[in-house]
Amino acid sequence: MAERLLKFVSIDAQMPNKREVAKRTGDFHEIYAEFITQKANEQASRCSQCGVPFCQTGCPLQNNIPDWLKMTAEGRLEEAYALSSATNSMPEICGRICPQDRLCEGACVIEQSGHGAVTIGAVERYITETAWDQGWITPITPPRELAEHVGIVGAGPAGLAAAEALRNKGYQVTIYDRYDRAGGLLIYGIPSFKLEKVVVSRRIEHLKASGVTFVQNYEVGRNGTLADLRAAHDCVLIAIGVYKARPLPCPGSDGEGVVEALDYLTASNKTGLGDYIPAFESGALNAQGKRVVVIGGGDTAMDCVRTAIRQGAAKVTCLYRRDRANMPGSAREVSNAQDEGVVFEWLAAPKAVHATSKGVTGVLATRMRLGEADSTGRQASEELVGGEFDVPADLVIKALGYDPEPVQTLFDEPALKVSRWGTIRADAITGETSVQNVFAAGDIVRGASLVVWAIKDGREAAEHMHQAMRKQARQLGEAAQYAAQRDVTLKPASF
Ligand X SMILES: Cc1cc2nc3c(=O)[nH]c(=O)nc-3n(C[C@H](O)[C@H](O)[C@H](O)COP(=O)(O)OP(=O)(O)OC[C@H]3O[C@@H](n4cnc5c(N)ncnc54)[C@H](O)[C@@H]3O)c2cc1C
The site for ligand SF4 (CB under 6 A) is made up of: 59, 61, 63, 65, 88, 94-95, 98, 100, 103-104, 120-121, 124, 452
Partner whose binding site includes residue 71, from ligand SF4, ligand X, none (CB under 5 to 8 Å by kind): none
Contact residues for ligand X, defined by CB under 6 A: 97-98, 153-159, 176-179, 184-185, 189-190, 194, 219-221, 239-241, 265, 299-300, 303, 410, 442-443, 449-452, 454
Closest distance to ligand X from the beta carbon of 458 (Å): 7
Q: Whole-angstrom Cα distance, residue 255 to residue 251?
A: 9
Q: Whole-angstrom Cα distance, residue 250 to residue 363?
A: 10
SS3 168: helix
Tell me the C-alpha to C-alpha distance, in Å, between residue 439 and each of 31, 236, 452, 471, 490.
37, 6, 19, 16, 41
Closest distance to ligand X from the beta carbon of 477 (Å): 34
Partner whose binding site includes residue 443, from ligand SF4, ligand X, none (CB under 5 to 8 Å by kind): ligand X
* Of residues 220 and 319, the one with the C-beta less far from ligand X: 220
| Nearest CA among 387, 324, 318 for reference residue 351 | 387
Query: At 419, which helix (H) or strand (E)?
Result: none
Closest distance to ligand SF4 from the beta carbon of 121 (Å): 4
Q: How far is CA 366 from the centre of its chain?
A: 32
CB 400 within 8 A of CB 245: yes
* Of residues 117 and 238, the one with the C-beta less far from ligand SF4: 117
* Of residues 178 and 202, the one with the C-beta less far from ligand X: 178
SS3 352: strand
SS3 237: strand
Closest distance to ligand SF4 from the beta carbon of 104 (Å): 3
Partner whose binding site includes residue 435, from ligand SF4, ligand X, none (CB under 5 to 8 Å by kind): none
Closest distance to ligand X from the beta carbon of 92 (Å): 13
Concatenated DSSP letters of 270-326:
HHHTT---HHHHTSTT--TT-EEEEE--SHHHHHHHHHHHHTT-SEEEEEESS-GGG
Query: At 112, which helix (H) or strand (E)?
Result: helix 109-112
Q: Whole-angstrom Cα distance, residue 485 to residue 111?
A: 66
Partner whose binding site includes residue 61, from ligand X, ligand SF4, none (CB under 5 to 8 Å by kind): ligand SF4
* Of residues 16 and 362, the one with the C-beta less far from ligand SF4: 16
Closest distance to ligand SF4 from the beta carbon of 69 (Å): 10
Tell me the C-alpha to C-alpha distance, in Å, between residue 97 and each of 31, 90, 124, 193, 260.
12, 11, 11, 10, 22
| Proportion of the chain in helix, strand, coil states, percent, rounded to 5 | 40, 20, 40
* Of residues 355 and 407, the one with the C-beta less far from ligand X: 407
Partner whose binding site includes residue 157, from ligand X, ligand SF4, none (CB under 5 to 8 Å by kind): ligand X
Partner whose binding site includes residue 65, from ligand SF4, ligand X, none (CB under 5 to 8 Å by kind): ligand SF4
Closest distance to ligand X from the beta carbon of 488 (Å): 48
Closest distance to ligand X from the beta carbon of 288 (Å): 20
* Of residues 98 and 353, the one with the C-beta less far from ligand X: 98
